[in-house]
């Protein structure tokens, strides 16, 4: 069993309390509202999958963008990625939306001002009103130095920057692969979340 950092508890509680109207395990995107997420919206991002390699960021709070290291709202995430990171991200998003399951990710970000920090985030799928799984909601935290106004370097978008990643079973299963301390593992004793 994988234990999320307690800093995610408030977000996780709100996400778990969303109604499941169109899917047994997932909420509808329309239920993800400012009234529900309130003060956490600064650290939330919401994206819509529009194709196999198209994930359009519908909303990204200023805290999420600062933590992620670059502005993403109104952009297709795949347009931002280096070519060598598109294939692994496509598989990652196929797993999240296809299973469906969540994920916890800790990736090392380098900035144009020379800082390095870890961006901790969780990502969970959501559906449209018909129950089609096509949205991702993310919630991100970091340890970025407050004085660092730099943006994420292009080279810090790489599989080698993923410190930890684990898929989270939301009720429909989850892939067993995971990353621990920069090392990819196929076997898993970490399924589920608490």
- The answer to whether 59 and 45 have CB atoms below 8 angstroms apart is yes
The DSSP bridge partners found for residue 178 are 166, 185
pLDDT score of 193 more than 80: no
Residue 191: inside a domain, yes or no? Answer: no
pLDDT in tens, 116-143: 778 889 999 999 999 999 999 999 887 6
CATH code for position 130: 3.30.450.20
> CA 50, CA 55: separation in Å to the nearest integer?
6
Confidence bin at 76 (pLDDT 50/70/90)? very high
Query: For residues 65 and 70, what is the distance between their CA atoms, to the nearest angstrom?
Result: 6
67 and 43 Cβ atoms separated by less than 8 Å: yes
Q: Per the domain annotation, does 1 fall within a domain?
A: no
Question: What pLDDT, on the 0 to 100 scale, is given for residue 154?
Answer: 55
93, two tokens: 């998003």
Distance CA 120, CA 135 (A): 20
pLDDT tens per residue across span 1-21: 567 888 899 999 999 999 999
pLDDT of residue 153: 59
Q: Is residue 192 part of a domain?
A: no
pLDDT at 83 over 70: yes
Evaluate if residue 194 carries a pLDDT over 50. Answer: no
Owning domain of residue 86: 6-185
151 occurs within a structural domain? yes
Whether 123 maps to a domain, the answer reads yes
Q: Strand 54-60 relative to strand 133-142: parallel, antiparallel, unpaired?
A: unpaired
Domains in the chain: how many in total? 1
Q: Does some domain include residue 141?
A: yes
Average pLDDT, the chain: 84
């Amino acid at each position: 069993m994988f234990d999320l950092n307690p800093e995610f508890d408030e977000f996780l509680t709100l996400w778990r309390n969303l109604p499941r109207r169109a899917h047994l395990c997932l909420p509808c995107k329309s239920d993800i509202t400012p009234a529900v997420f309130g003060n956490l919206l600064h650290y939330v991002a919401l994206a819509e999958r529009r194709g196999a390699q198209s994930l359009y960021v519908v909303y990204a709070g200023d805290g999420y963008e600062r933590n992620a290291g670059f502005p993403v709202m109104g952009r297709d995430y795949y347009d931002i990625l280096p070519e060598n990171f598109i294939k692994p991200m496509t598989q990652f998003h196929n797993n999240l939306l296809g299973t469906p399951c969540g994920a916890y990710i800790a990736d090392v970000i380098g900035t144009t001002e020379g800082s390095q920090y870890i961006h901790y985030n969780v990502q969970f799928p959501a559906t449209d009103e018909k129950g089609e799984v096509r949205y991702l909601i993310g919630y991100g935290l970091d340890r970025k130095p407050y004085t660092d106004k730099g943006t994420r370097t292009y080279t810090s978008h790489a599989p080698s920057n993923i410190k930890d990643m684990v898929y989270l079973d939301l009720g429909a299963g989850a892939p067993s692969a995971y990353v621990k301390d920069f090392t990819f593992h196929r076997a898993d004793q970490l399924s589920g979340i608490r």
